[in-house]
Amino acid sequence: MLQKLPPQNFDTLQFLLLHLNRVTWFEVDNLMTASNLGAVISPSMIWVHPATPSCSSSSFLSDAHLMSKAVELLIKNAFEVFNIDRAEDWRVFFQNYPDIEEPPAVDPEIEAHIGESEGAFFRLFNFLIAQEHSFQTPVQLNW
């Protein structure tokens, strides 16, 4: 699905998702977990065009949780989705911003659960691909 995006849209999506993933590095201080970010940003990223005949307002609202979860999983897996080395990005980020204190490492138990979400991520991603006729990006690209 990403390959269908025009280059400028792909670059924007990559920049946004990597940035939001970096925001979660500081979730202890800013309380912006991937789940919170997904809930806040998903209505701007995934929406149904009002003229879409196959989608009613009620079905859109009932799918809001799925859309929020999809964006959450994209944020959590941004480095994997875009094949970016997370450790190198971390190093470069804190090298470029030396005044920012590195947050503490993630608890190993929490880190273990991140891998568990990958299966859910791909199931949800496949669901969204199957539903792509119902969703449009804010710039109304037909995926």
C-alpha 132/C-alpha 143 separation (Å) is 6
The whole-chain average pLDDT of the chain stands at: 79
The reported pLDDT for the residue numbered 46 is 81
128 and 70 Cβ atoms separated by less than 8 Å: yes
- What pLDDT band is residue 19 in, cutting at 50, 70 and 90? very high
The reported pLDDT for the residue numbered 66 is 87
Q: What is the mean pLDDT of residues 87-93?
A: 96
Q: What is the pTM of this model?
A: 0.69
Q: Is the pLDDT of residue 110 over 80?
A: no
Q: Is the pLDDT of residue 115 over 60?
A: no
Of the segments 16-20, 31-35, 49-53, which one has the largest average pLDDT value? 16-20
- The 10s digit of each residue's pLDDT in 52-79 is 666 655 555 567 888 899 999 999 999 9
Q: Is the pLDDT of residue 36 over 70?
A: yes
Neighbours of 74 (CB within 10 A): 26
4 Cβ neighbours under 8 A, 6+ residues apart: 141, 143
